[in-house]
Every structure is written in structure tokens, then in C-alpha cells.
Amino acid sequence: MENKYFKTKNISYILLALLFLISFLLIPQKIYSDDDGEDEIINGFISAIESTNENTILSITDNNGVIYDIIITSDTVLGLDNAVGERWIDRFSNDINESIKRLNDQQNMLSPITILHHSKYAHSITTKNSENLKTNLNYLFIVFALAWLSFFGYLIYLSRRLLNIKEEIKLLKSK
Amino acid sequence: MKITKLNFINIFIIFTGIIVVIDMWMIFVWVPTEINQGAIQRILYLHVPVAWGSMAAICIVAFSSIMYLYKKAEKWDRIALSAAESGAIFGAMMLLSGMLWARPVWGVFWTGEAKLTFSLILFILFIAYLMFRAYFPKGIQQKRISAVIGIIGAIDTPIIYFAANLWERAHPPLIAGPAATSDSFISQNIILTLLFSVVTFTLVLSSLIFLRYTLRKNEDEIDLIIINKT
Amino acid sequence: MNPFKTIWNIAKRDLILELRRKEVLFTILGFSTLVLSIFVFSIDVNTKETQKIVPAIYWSAIIFSFTIALGRRFSIEIENGAFEALILSPISKDIIFFGKFTSNFILVLISSVFALPITSILFNINILKIEYLLLAIIISFGLSTLGTFFAIMSIKVRAREVMLSLVFFPAVTPLLFAGVDCMDKIIQNNNFSDIQSWIFFVLFYDAIFFLISLLLFDHILQE
Amino acid sequence: MKNQKNINLLEVSQLYKSFGNKKILENISFEMGKGEFVLITGSNGSGKTTLIRIISSLCSHDEGEIKIFQTSLKKEFEIVKSKIGFGMHNSMMYDDFTGKENLEYSSDLYGITNKKGNLKNIVDRFELTEILDKKIKYLSQGQIKRIANAKAFLNNPKLIILDEPDSGLDKQSQEILFREIIEEKKLGTSILLASHRLEKWIDIADQVLFMKNSSLINVTKDRKNLIF
């Protein structure tokens, strides 16, 4: 039973090569084509909030006094901390009056705001809580401690086993 | 002074140790704190090199598995095993540093963000390779099947990364915070430290692989001696 | 000996075997319905929020039931050496893979098509459209390619079910992403262009792993 | 009956196999010509089954060379397999199929032309008619063995490899098996048989190979005083 016409092995090699070629041409650029330009960041304080019927406009004065008018779209993401410091994260469209209320609090508390926007349409608005960013040094410490603990622990474990085995080999060889 | 196998490794490990100390100094002292995120941004100098390390580890596993299937030489199988073990540790660190970075900055441990999903699946792949190998009865078939898993896992890695990106594009997670644009703020020193850390962690990875390789070799040697004895 | 006839022979015999033994058939059909009904009890179904997670429930039910079925599928065939009879017969190893793959593909397809109406009844969403069938076909293709490969590979391993799922799930997550996301989009009846990139991705995934399994199949058969 | 030296059907040279740190086969070499009956005997667990599995490419070996019909085992060897009949230790059949369905499945796999006629001939030769229509799982070990042995003769092979075909068989079916093997031997089919029971096989064997703690001794000549 000679299945020469079914030489799947070399057919699969050719098909595999072809497929890699097509995939590199076709899929990636379709995906990454809609990545439109760089987003900019503004750090500053909320000076005024006007909400017209179709969208809400925030005017922000940044550290050196320049005033920007930022338009909040439906999918802008808000990450605002209240006085106690708990972070509240939600999309603007999910709960508009709650978001407006929170933005007003931020305005009264004059808390520093970081806005990530693309040609005036805001992607995300977050409280730049620099003081509690300092406090999370403990996360930094935990990560580095765990990293080095695991690396050196593994290293020591390996070298100890290596030494034991070396001795055993010497013992067995001498016997 | 004849450089025997063993003390070559010692020199290599001591050298890596020195490089690591310099790297730590650079990360914690030399590089300025990034204005946007503050101190927590220094996790970048651990997260990126470790991610690069686990990627390199899965590539080494794939390459040595293919060579083992092709050449049937024991040496390739040992490299695959050692790369997988160190890769698992690097994968765990990648996952951990990713999560502990997300917590202070985005306020949540886990989001649908592509990199986090990808590192979790990569970590599970490593664990699957090691567990499958440990539970399979010893012998040539065990080595051959582990090589096959290594190859499939490695081919799967870019595909999973791709799928994670597509998934993130379809379900954008609620990342409210400057971390989302951490890479838009790279100054000169930050790039230098990052590169140096990548070099350091590659050295750490290779010394771990080297050590595990020699250990594996000696284990085989003992088996041979026992066989000849009986 | 026409190879396609042998492939159909192997697949047909496997399916007859499963019909008689009913063990894998119950897992494929019964278990996925069980998983779906567990979710129905645990969440209140008719709010708009829960509609969003229906695709996730559907696809995880399919993948769970398939993994368990895979664990059972080859166990008896191996114990009394029937699989070795296949290896010893004068057919090339690729044909064995095709045959086993076809029977698994048909089983997964039955399971996913069978679970569609159940999901639409339990979660009262209308998901009986043609696109779902196309989606189910291409994803079942990917699932059964890797499923057959891993099932045959993990015959001799201890704690086989756990090891099989430990290796199978990470490899199949891209399909899970694609299935859930496409279904989500079809439910909100967006146009075809949204899920086009996913469809391309799944086709690429199926082709790649089908060929890789073919190339590596010899290595996992040799004892 | 010495065969012509040049065409060796099966050649095994310097075969080594060890499992973990236990040696199973050491420096096994033997040849087998056309129409020869070779008996491999030895106590249980002396490596007979492993040797058979290695020869039929079910199991890999560490060193050594195996040639069947002059083609080495490494190359794709389906064409060769169509001329070989295998009767392994386990039944190699599906429990939920009846004996008849199992035999039909094998003839499909071997691509036998007139399936019906060939099957009928095998069934008559091995007198299986009454146990053919029950599912394998309802049959006794002996009956399953009879069907498995018949399966090895299904594709009228040039070489038949049988591993413990007589275990669990009653007197009467042993007679049938013995008669069929002599029949095949006359037609020029060579047979490789591994068994730890000697009585009948030893008289008709052209070569007797005795396996003792993982090595092979050719005792064809002084087979009479074979004790182990």
C-alpha cells in the first residue's frame, strides 16, 4: 500500500512556511493601523466645570498657569481619590452625575489632577496623589525582596545539591 | 591554574554577583525618580528585564527541544530542562512584579491588561512543562514528550501575546492613571538603567541555567555509575 | 488503499465505539449542560449585565466538558492495546492522527451545536444565528487539533486528567478569547468587520497547530 | 531445513536496551531466514516481550540494528508492516466491538481486497464461529486469545510475530493453533514465537533461543537438555 500521493510530511513543511508569510503580512498591520498618534499629559488643578447638553468641558490650569479646556467623552475613565484616599475608578458614561459630583469635590479640594488626552479629548482623568505614591515604597520593597529571595534561594539550593552529588561521585568512584 | 569545569562556573557566578550589586546601586540611587509615578516606577527596572528573561528562557527551551528531537543528544534535553526551571522562576517574578505594580498605580491587583494576561499564561505554560515532565515515567519517551511540549509552548507564546492584545482592544480595562502611559516619559538615565538591568538579569538567567545544567549532568553521571556497578 | 477511506474508517469506528460506550457521549452533552445550569442557578439571568457574560459561560462549558471527555477517550483503547494495533497496521502515522482528529472534531462540534439552543433557552438571548455555527466550526477545529494531540501524548502520565488540562488550557486560551469576544459582538449584532480580525486569527491558529501536530506526531507515538 | 544464506528475513545485531538503571537486553543478535520457525523461550520477565516489542517497532532501543525484509526499522516502514502479522501479549482489540467487528476493522486497516472471503477462511481455520458474535468484554481470556491469534494470520503475512499465543488456551484450541502454525510453515511463512511453555514448540523449531538474565543463548543444537 504505497501512499506516495499522500506525502503529508513535505506538504506540511511547505504549507507551514507559506502560512508564516501570509500571517506576517495580513493580521498585524490590520490591528495596529488604528493606533492614532501620541497622547499628551497635563498636570494641574480643575478651575471650572461646564456641562452642556451634549458633553462636559473641564478647564484646567496647570502648574505654570496655562489654562486648557478638556472635553470629557463618554468613554473617559476617571480615577479620583476622595479625602480619605480611597481610589474610585469608573467610566464617565456609566454614572454621569456621580462623576460630576466627584469632579466638583476634586475642584473644591484643589487636589492635583493628571489628565491624559488626545487633541483635547480626555482618555483618563486621575488624581495625582503624589503623597500616597511615596508611601507605597513597601510594594517596591516587597517586589525586589521576593525577586532576590527566589533567585538566590534557587542558586543556593542548586549549588548545595551540586556539591552533595560531587561528593557522592567521588565516593562511588573510589569504591 | 587549569580552569576546570566547576570553578569556571564559580567565576561566572561571582562576576554576575558583582554586576547585580552595581545594578542595584543604579536602580535605587543613580536613576532619578520619575515625576509621574514616583518611587513605584522603579519596579520597571525589575519587571521589564524579568519579562525579557522569561521570553529568552522559552526560546531556549524551544530551540534545545528541537535540537533534541533532531539530534537525540542528551545535552539538549538538559539545557531544555534547566531553561524551563529558571524560566518558571522568571515567569513568576514577571507576574508578581506586574501585579504589585498595578496595585498602587491603578488601584487594582488584576485588570484585563494584555501584559498581565500574557504573563499569567506564560507562567502556567512553564509550570505545565515542569509538572508534566515530573509526572511522566522516566525514560527516553519522557524526554521526547517534554521536548514536544516545549516546542508547542514556545509556538503558543507569540500567539497568546497576540490574542491578549486583541482581547485588551476588545475589552479595554479600566486603567485610570498615569501608569498607562509610563513609556511616554523616558529620559536618558532611565533608558541606560533599564538596559543595564536587562543585561544583569540575562546574566542571572544564564548562571542559573549553567548551574542547573551541570547538576543535571552529574545526576546522569551517577545513574551511569550505578548501572555499571550492578 | 485510499487514505481518505482509512481516515473515515478510523473516525467512523471511534464514533460507533463512543455511541456504544455512551461514557464520552454523556460527558460531551451532559456535562456542558450541567455547567450551564449551574451558572443559571447562581446568577439572576435577566439583567442586562449578565447577558454580557453568557459567551464566557458557554465557551468554558464547552472546553471543560471536552477536556474531561478527552481524558476518558483514549484510556480504554490504550489499556488493551487497541491503539498499538493501529500503530502496527500498515498505515502512516499521519492517517492515524487524521482519523482520531476527525472523530474528536465531530464530537466537539456536536457538543457546541447542542449547547447553543440550551444557552439561548436558559439565558433567554436569541443566539440561533448562522454566524454562531461558523464560529463553532472553526473553534472546534482548533480545540480538537490540540485536544487529540495532548490526549495521545498524556496517556502514560500519572494523574492524567489534571496533567492534560494543565497543558491544554494555556494552549487553548487564544481560542477562548476569540470565541467569547466574537460571540459577544454577534449578540450585539455588530457588522462582520469587527470580528474579522478574530476570524483571521483563529484560522491562522488552527492551521499552525494542525501542521505542528502533524510534524510532531511521530515523536509522541514512539514508546 | 536450512534456508539460502543470503535472503535473511529478520536480522537483529548487537541490540541493547536498559530501562532507568536496569539492563533489560544486552548484546542480542540473531538471524531468521524465510520459512523458519524461531522459538524464543526463557522464564517470565527475562525480556522476551521487550525484545518482541522492539522488533515490531513499538518500543525504542538504545543501541543495535534491526532489519526486517532488508529495510532498517528507522525508515517509514508501513509497506513492510503489511507483510507482517502481529499477535502481541495484550489482546489489541476493542472491548465494545464483537470479535467479528474487530477482525473487520483489521482487514480494513490492512486493506484486504475480498474482506468477506478472507474472513470466512480465517474463521473456519480457527473454528471461531460460535464465539464471534459476542462482545469481547463478555468473552473469557482464552477465547479472546484465540481471536487475537487469528487476527495475526488475517493478512496472510510473510512473517508472523506471536508473543505468548498459547497462554490461557485450552487443550483443544492449542491443537488448532499448533496445526495452523505447521500449515503456515509449510507455505513458507516464517514465524517468530515467544513462549515460556516448551512441550510442543521445541520439536518443530528450526532455531531455539534461550533468554537468561537479559542475554540470549542459541541452544538450537542441545535443545533436549534445556532446563531453567
- The residue among D66, D56, D57 whose CA lies nearest residue D16 is D66
Give D32-62 pLDDT, tens digit per residue: 888 888 888 888 777 888 888 888 888 888 8
Q: How many CB atoms lie within 10 A of CB A85?
A: 11
- Per-residue pLDDT, averaged over B33-44, amounts to 70
Place of cell 497547530: C209
pLDDT digits (tens, 9 = 90+) for A66-84: 788 888 877 777 777 777 7
Which H/E stretch holds residue D28?
strand D22-33
Quick check: is A9 in a domain? no
pLDDT band with cut points at 50, 70 and 90 for residue B57: very high
Averaged confidence pLDDT in chain B = 83
A13 or C167: which leads in pLDDT: C167
**C-alpha cell of residue D120:** 470466512
Taking only the tens place, the pLDDT of each residue in D208-225 is: 888 887 788 877 666 666
Query: Which position has the higher pLDDT, D68 or A131?
Result: D68
What ipTM was assigned to the predicted interfaces of this complex?
Answer: 0.81
Same domain, A89 and A150: no
Q: What is the mean pLDDT of chain D?
A: 82
User: Domain of A74: which CATH number?
Assistant: 2.40.50.140
Provide the pLDDT for residue B206.
93
Domain that holds residue A75: 40-128
Of C213, C203, C200, the C-alpha closest to C104 is C213
Distance CA A61, CA D206 (A): 104
Model confidence at A32: pLDDT above 50: no
Assign A34 a pLDDT band (cuts: 50, 70, 90): very low
Strand order in the sheet with D22-33: D22-33, D8-19, D63-68, D71-72
CA-derived radius of gyration, chain C: 18
B30: Cβ contacts below 8 Å, ≥ 6 apart:
B189, B193
Cα–Cα distance between D118 and D122 in angstroms, integer?
Answer: 6
Vertex A37 angle, CA A35 and A42, to 5°: 125
Helix residue ranges per DSSP H, D43-188: 48-55, 78-81, 99-110, 115-126, 141-152, 171-186
Range with lowest mean pLDDT among A23-27, C58-62, D195-199, D217-221? A23-27
Residues A47, A124 within the same domain = yes
Spatial distance between the Cα atoms of C162 and C142, rounded to a whole number of angstroms: 21
Confidence of residue B173 (pLDDT cuts 50, 70, 90): low
Q: For C171-211, how does the pLDDT look when each residue is reduced to its tens digit (9 = 90+)?
A: 999 999 999 988 888 887 777 777 788 888 888 898 889 88
Other C-beta atoms closer than 10 Å to the C-beta of C163 total 21
- Residue B149, C-beta contacts closer than 8 angstroms, at least 6 positions apart: B128, B129, B132, B133, C153, C167
What grid cell was written down for A46?
A: 480643575
User: Does residue A49 or residue A149 have the better pLDDT?
Assistant: A149
Provide the pLDDT for residue C76: 76
pLDDT band at A23 (very low <50, low <70, confident <90, very high): low
Q: Which of C167, C177, C181 sits opposite B128 (nearest CB)?
A: C167
How far is Cα D202 from Cα D223, in angstroms, rounded to an integer? 8
Summarised one tens digit per residue, pLDDT across range C27-65 is 888 888 998 888 888 877 677 777 788 889 999 999 999
Asked if residue A120 and residue A139 are part of one domain, the reply reads no
pLDDT of residue B113: 78
- B90 pLDDT more than 80: yes
Testing the interface with D: which of C80, C100, C221, C222 to mutate, by most D Cβ within 10 A? Answer: C80
Q: How confident is the model at residue B184 (pLDDT cuts 50, 70, 90)?
A: very low
Q: Is residue A121 part of a domain?
A: yes
* Chain A residue numbers touching B40 (CB-CB < 8 A): 133, 136-137, 139-140
Does any CB of chain A come closer than 8 Å to the CB of residue D111?
A: yes
Closest residue, chain D, to C2 (C-alpha)? D111
For B229, the closest chain A residue by CA position comes to: A172
Q: Does domain D8-218 have CATH number 3.40.50.360?
A: no
Are residues A145 and A116 located together in one domain of the fold? Answer: no
For A11-25, A146-160, B45-59, which range has the lowest pLDDT when averaged over its residues? Answer: A11-25
Record: contact C94-A19, CB cut-off 8 A: no
Q: Determine contact, residues B88/B127, Cβ cutoff 8 Å.
A: yes
**One domain, residues A101 and A156:** no
A165 touches B: beta carbon within 8 Å: yes
| C19 contact D CB<8A | no
Q: For residue D54, give every residue at least 6 positions away whose Cβ sits within 8 Å of its Cβ, in sequence order, or none.
A: D15, D17, D25, D60, D61, D66
Are B222 and A165 an interchain contact pair (Cβ–Cβ within 8 Å)?
A: yes
Chain B (121-140) residues lying within 8 Å, Cβ to Cβ, of chain C:
121, 124-125, 127-128, 131-132, 135-137
Query: In this structure, are A116 and A157 located in the same domain?
Result: no
Predicted local distance difference test score (pLDDT) of residue A129: 55
Give one DSSP letter per residue of A70-138, joined into a string: EEEEEEEEEEEE-TT--EEEEEGGG-HHHHHHHHHHHHHHT--EEEEEETTEEEEEEE--HHHHHHTHH
Q: Tell me the one-letter amino acid at C77.
A: E
Per-residue pLDDT, averaged over D82-90, amounts to: 86
Question: pLDDT-based confidence at C109, cuts 50/70/90?
Answer: very high
CA triple C210-C211-C212, angle to 5 deg: 95
Query: What grid cell was written down for C140?
Result: 472546534
| Contact: A2, D79; criterion CB under 8 Å | yes
- Strand, helix or coil at D217? strand
B72, amino acid identity = K
* Per-residue pLDDT tens digits for D124-172: 888 888 888 888 888 888 888 888 888 888 888 888 998 888 888 888 8
d(CA C113, CA C126): 14
d(CA A80, CA B107): 11
Number of domains in chain A: 2
More confident: B59 or A105: B59
What pLDDT, on a 0 to 100 scale, did the predictor assign at position B36?
58
- The answer to whether A84 contacts chain D (CB < 8 Å) is no
**What is the per-residue pLDDT across B142-153, written as a single tens digit (0 to 9) for each?**
999 999 999 999
pLDDT(B125) > 60: yes
On average, the pLDDT of chain C sits at: 86
Angle, CA B40 vertex, CA B34 and CA B41 arms, to 5°:
45
pTM above 0.80, yes or no: yes
How far apart, in whole angstroms, are the C-alpha atoms of residue B17 and residue D164? 62
Give me the pLDDT at residue B192, please.
Answer: 84
In sign, the C-alpha dihedral spanning D37, D41, D45, D46 is: negative
Give the C-alpha separation, D56 to D73, whole Å.
9
Contact B104 A173 (CB under 8 A): no
Please state, as a whole number, how many other Cβ atoms lie within 10 Å of the Cβ of residue A174.
6
Mean pLDDT value of segment C94-118: 91
B176, B170, B167, B113: which is closest to A72 by C-alpha?
Answer: B176
Instruction: Compute how many other C-beta atoms are within 10 angstroms of the C-beta atom of residue C80.
Output: 19
B159 touches chain C (CB under 8 A): yes
Crossing angle, helix D115-126 and helix D171-186, to 10 degrees? 130
More confident residue, D77 or C159: C159
Three-class SS state of C6: helix
Are A99 and A157 in the same domain?
Answer: no
